[in-house]
Amino acid sequence: MKTRSPSIDIDPTLKARFAEDGYCIVRGLYTPEELEPVRNRLEELWEGRHDYPWPNEKLSTNDPNDRNTPGGNYRSGSLQLPASLESVFSTFARNARLVSVMETLLGGPVKPFTDQTIFKPGIQKANRSFYHQDTFYWRLRPGVCINAWIALDEVDRDSCALAFLPGSHRNWRIAFHEEYWDEVRFSRGKDGKAVTRRRIPQSAIDDSTEILTPGKPGDAFFFNNYTWHRAEPNLSGLNKAAYAIACQLDRTDNPLSEKELEALTDKAPAKP
Q: What gap in Å lies between CA 38 and CA 55, rounded to an integer?
A: 23
Can you give 98-143 as a three-state secondary structure string? HHHHHHHHHCCCEEEEEEEEEEECCCCCCCCEEEECCHHHHCECCC
Whether residue 272 is predicted with pLDDT greater than 90 in this model: the reply is no
Whether residue 90 is predicted with pLDDT greater than 50 in this model: the reply is yes
In a domain, 1, yes or no: no
Averaged pLDDT for residues 69-94:
95
Q: Is the peptide bond before 272 cis (omega within 30 degrees of 0)?
A: no
In a domain, 271, yes or no: no
Per the structure, the count of domains in the chain is: 1
Whether residue 1 is predicted with pLDDT greater than 90 in this model: the reply is no
pLDDT computed for residue 256 by the predictor: 97
195 secondary structure, DSSP code: P
In a domain, 141, yes or no: yes
In a domain, 6, yes or no: no
pTM of the model as a whole: 0.92
Tell me the residue range of the domain where 115 lies: 14-264
pLDDT in tens, 178-236: 988 765 555 565 566 666 788 999 999 998 999 999 999 999 999 999 999 999 999 99
In a domain, 9, yes or no: no
Can you give the CATH number for the domain in which 173 is found? 2.60.120.620
Whether residue 44 is predicted with pLDDT greater than 90 in this model: the reply is yes
In a domain, 239, yes or no: yes
Which of 52, 73, 50 lies closest to 63, judged by CA?
Answer: 73
pLDDT in tens, 11-21: 878 999 999 99
pLDDT computed for residue 9 by the predictor: 67
Band of residue 127 on the pLDDT scale cut at 50, 70, 90: low
